[in-house]
Amino acid sequence: MPVDSSNHLDLQPSGVAIYRSFSDIEELAAFLPEDVRLAQLNCWPFSCTSMALHFETIQFNFNHVNCKLYAVGDKYPGFLTFTFILHEQGQPVIEDNRLVNADYVFGYDPHRSANLVFPGNATHCAVHVRQDLFEACAETMDRLDLNTQFVASNHAYIPESLPPLRAYLQQLYELLRQLSPLLYKPDFQQLILRDFLPLLISAFPIQQERLKPPLKAFRRSHLVKQANDYMQTHTDQPLTLTDLCKALGTSTRALCYGFQEMFGMSPMSYLKILRLQSVHRTLKLAKPGHKTVTEIASQFGFYHLGYFAHDYKKMFDELPSATLKRSN
């Protein structure tokens, strides 16, 4: 990995390398440092490979997810989160109501809630940098332009300077994937801590706002988020499209258009996914002999058990009875 010891702060290494594989979306949400709710946007079995290198002041988190994913919630308190698209299949990310591609670093305004749609079969890297460390390093490098106004911009278009930074992260990703013993060596960890922040800060041009092309904005992103929040708290209640629109004070046309634009599906298809996830969660936590599959499915609005079992198996690769049996 490239080494540049100039303009660095004295940091003590104590890194922990982590490799995890997830088939349960809620277990992934619990693993992430952000307090976010996750919903998959495809009806097939979920899988995610997560690798991380954690220091006290900087954390590198790499995630490769097999399906389209919606993430909404609070960011990691006390940290700035710089998100990168490392490997993608030509599909952009929707971040805070706008499309961003692999030429962007994004998501680092700590005062904005996370609100992202990630494409499937893509690898993303979130680097969490403690805010006081970022500010101290920027000051050391005489980058006073990286101030609160810069952070509030939440994204930077840096196609010219991003490739070396992405290459650095890809090398770190490969070392984690290979379970390299280098990652546990204090001297190597010290190099990472000394090299990365100067490399990150140098990647932001001083006049970076002049480089921003116009970003496509999704006018109904806020409406979709409102609908998601409402659905999350009403998965166990009868809810039609008309009911949802009435609760949100919007039209069916606007809501359907917003969901199709953001998620590529209708509101009711999305609600079915949320309810299937709720059934899955409840079946995993059910106590022996207390609940049946029929009772739990009915609790979340599934009354035709044949269709329910088909959709459940398609999404979780097992019958609901098998999930309930494993909980016993």
Q: What is the mean pLDDT of each run of 10 residues along the chain (328 residues)?
A: 38 72 94 92 94 94 95 94 89 86 94 92 95 95 93 92 94 94 90 94 76 66 92 88 94 94 93 94 85 92 92 94 83
Per-residue pLDDT tens over the stretch 223-277 = 999 999 999 999 888 888 999 999 999 999 999 999 999 999 999 999 999 999 9
Supply the pLDDT for residue 214: 57
Position 97 scores a pLDDT of 82
**Domain ranges, residue 248:** 221-327
pLDDT at 88: 78
- Residue 8: the pLDDT is 35
Rg (CA), the chain: 22
Q: Do 85 and 191 share a structural domain?
A: yes
Of residues 292, 297, 259, the one with CA closest to residue 275: 297
Per-residue pLDDT, 90? 73
Same-domain status, 248 and 129: no
Shared domain check, 204 and 66: yes
Residue 255: the pLDDT is 95
Please tell me whether residues 187 and 40 are part of one structural domain.
yes
Select from 211, 242, 268 the last residue of a domain: 211
Residue 10 has what pLDDT? 39
> Within this chain, do residues 279 and 156 fall inside the same structural domain, yes or no?
no
pLDDT at site 215: 61
pTM of the model: 0.86
For residues 105 and 192, state if they share a domain.
yes
Which of 179, 211, 243 is a domain's end point?
A: 211
